[in-house]
Chains A and B, each alone.
Chain A
């Protein structure tokens, strides 16, 4: 019996019986198709190259599930690959776990799974094990995906959020806010159209190119939820330093700026899914910038600030206007202002 793609997810798909097996075989295994998964075990066995092993996990819940520039499938692959890659590691294997809501169209699920398979193949990182559960209608939001990634850091490399030192330079790999504004623009009732798409992408190759040229990079982090502003505060706190940013140097695309103006949001706190922050010693910053700009994923890279000594660990910014302001932690979600 073949899986009917015109149908939808039913409770029996999560029951562990024949229907579960069919869903896994015809949808997941067929799309992800690799030797580890095809062994059909409840776990994957593999060997890793020498080096420090890195592991990261990320749960993905997003509405809408499909958006310009990607979908929850590609996002769930990129998100975890990037978390692994920010340690300097080469990602090796992925695991994926699905929570499906009863009634979710199987055709949509196939679209998502195919998109995951494509993202994983493009990255050269197979999805080697996984799990599926089904919850009753109304108890989930279509589909939730958790992915876990394993990678290996080459010998001699140690990148960590606590390594930033006063005098270091802060770089960003491209424009900020594209993902968050894309998602916002699709939400019901907002009523604006913007010519933008999510920046969701796998940053591992960019990271490899950067580390090859500048192994002295202190830390890397992708500013996802909470945006550049929150992520820099995290790094400042971890390293026990302050930061001084130049607003004029931070790349923000025109439609993103316009949308943020319109909604009363600050692009510094809007989510990204395909950008990274790099901190490196000042003497290597120009070289790192050149390498990033030469890479397709870093063409808009910029040096946006300097790490400085500050017992209070403030992230500050010289505004385009010439004044000085704090870039503080965000409190909860950014809420649009009234007037």
Chain B
């Protein structure tokens, strides 16, 4: 088992697709949201929409870390990077995201700021040790998947007594965003018609399947946790169709090879040791959500870039016609935005959903444009 091809088997895919087609009742719609950008990416990369019956519809969720980062936070990161003593380091995905006035970290780098791309947050430790006269700031973003590595970075920095390393924390939490979608104006007005969630893969390895118990209980919305491979997604869709057909609403786990009920206890303990809840945090598309993001605990305040640096409160400027917010709530599809594919393309993104390969607009543009050309949905 190499975990590369086993979950991409075309024959098994056709069998699963045939089951979904046979079991999905023609008289009803199955509107199912894949929360994670990782799923969105897999869905388009492997051409899954082609395999599904018309009444099984996928709605793309907000689980793309760079997509939900509000412009105001990115503006702050850019301001931070412009401090001459700062080396700002972060993940590659974030570098091309447009902030106010279409400024990006890449442009800021070209203008002279010292911005480095990391593959692992722990590389920041070496950067800080190698550059004792500089201030190394890790621009930390992502859901529960990338939070434990950031926590580890901070803990290592504390143990090594590094005084020139800090993090600009933008870590957010998955369950509050799922709540926000179910409680969104579109959802309450009956416009969203969301019948079930494909639950996150990597996030769930950390937080466990127990974290979603409230969605079936409170909203009657089933959740099936799925891996990021295309067969995982198809199997999860079949499981959701079956739950809905049988009138069940439960948390089910398709991704049993990696997700347990409790998740990764060690990672959760580390997160808990280093981070605490923010009372509120802005999400692109979802607005300010209470208890939806993390900040460093007071014991780790020395590593908090927000306390170490004066960060300007700039009025953020979103592009007026950009539909990223509605797309992130699942209320609109990428192709519903009038900028999509015309003014806004991956080469020239106006909104964050067009940047990351996990963003719904970029995934649809890059892999699925032929669908629209062929007149399909």
Q: Tell me the A residues contacting B by CB distance below 8 Å.
A: 189-191, 248, 254, 257-258, 261, 263-264, 266, 312, 314, 316, 318-326, 328-329, 331-332, 335-339
Contact = CB atoms under 8 A, between A and B. Distances in A.
A261 B4 contact: yes
A144 B56 CA distance: 55
Most chain-B CB neighbours within 10 Å: which of A257, A320, A325, A335? A325
Chain B contact residues: helix, strand, loop or mixed: helix
Contacts, number: 119
Contact of A314 (B37, B93, B373): B373
Given A312-B373, A335-B117, A321 B47 contact: yes
Interface in B253-308: none
Contacts of B118: 189
B51 A323 contact: yes
B92 A335 contact: yes
Given A189-B120, A190-B119, A332-B96, A326 B10 contact: no
B225 interface: no
Interface in B85-136: 91-96, 117-120, 123, 126
B356 A321 contact: no
Contacts of A316: 370
Q: Which are the 5 A-B pairs with shortest beta-carbon distances?
A: A323-B47, A335-B92, A331-B346, A325-B367, A321-B46
B47 A336 contact: no
B368 A338 contact: no
Interface string B37-49: 1100100111111
B96 A335 contact: yes
A77 to B, nearest CB: 31
B46 A323 contact: yes
Contacts of A321: 8-10, 13, 46-48, 51, 230
B358 interface: yes
Most chain-B CB neighbours within 10 Å: which of A320, A324, A326, A339? A339
A336 B91 contact: yes
Given A331-B346, A339-B38, A189 B119 contact: yes
Q: How large is the interface on B (under 10, 10 to 19, 20 to 34, 35 or more residues)?
A: 35 or more
Contacts of B93: 335-338
Contact of B10 (A257, A261, A322, A328): A322
B65 interface: yes
B357 interface: yes
A325 B47 contact: yes
Given A335-B92, A339-B143, A339-B202, A323 B50 contact: yes
Contacts of B49: 323
Nearest to B358: A337
Nearest to B366: A328
Given A323-B47, A339-B145, A339-B146, A314 B369 contact: yes
A319 B146 contact: no
Most chain-B CB neighbours within 10 Å: which of A190, A319, A323, A331? A323
Contacts of B141: 338
A337 B47 contact: no
Nearest to A266: B45
B13 to A, nearest CB: 5
Given A335-B93, A339-B145, A326 B46 contact: no
A325 B51 contact: no
Interface string B184-205: 0000000000000000001100
Most chain-A CB neighbours within 10 Å: which of B47, B49, B91? B47
Contacts of A191: 119-120
Contacts of A189: 118-120, 123, 126
Most chain-A CB neighbours within 10 Å: which of B10, B230, B368? B10
Given A254-B4, A319-B45, 17 more contacts: A189-B119, A189-B126, A261-B4, A263-B119, A266-B45, A314-B373, A319-B47, A322-B10, A322-B47, A323-B50, A323-B51, A326-B368, A326-B370, A328-B366, A335-B117, A338-B93, A339-B65
B92 A336 contact: yes
Nearest to A339: B145
A277 B53 CA distance: 37
B61 interface: no
Most chain-B CB neighbours within 10 Å: which of A312, A314, A320, A329? A320
B46 A325 contact: yes
Given A331-B347, A336-B92, A322 B358 contact: no
Contacts of A261: 4
A323 B48 contact: yes
A157 to B, nearest CB: 35
14 contacts: A254-B4, A257-B4, A314-B370, A319-B45, A323-B48, A325-B44, A325-B46, A326-B366, A328-B365, A335-B96, A336-B93, A336-B119, A337-B38, A338-B93
Given A189-B119, A319-B47, A326 B367 contact: yes
Contacts of B368: 325-326
Most chain-B CB neighbours within 10 Å: which of A190, A254, A322, A324? A322
A323 to B, nearest CB: 2
A261 B369 CA distance: 24
B367 A338 contact: no
B2 interface: yes
B14 interface: yes
Contact of B51 (A322, A331, A339): A322
Interface string B325-359: 00000000000000000000011000000001110
B125 to A, nearest CB: 11
Most chain-B CB neighbours within 10 Å: which of A189, A257, A314, A329? A189
A183 to B, nearest CB: 14
B4 A335 contact: no
Contacts of A337: 38, 41, 93, 356-358
B208 interface: no
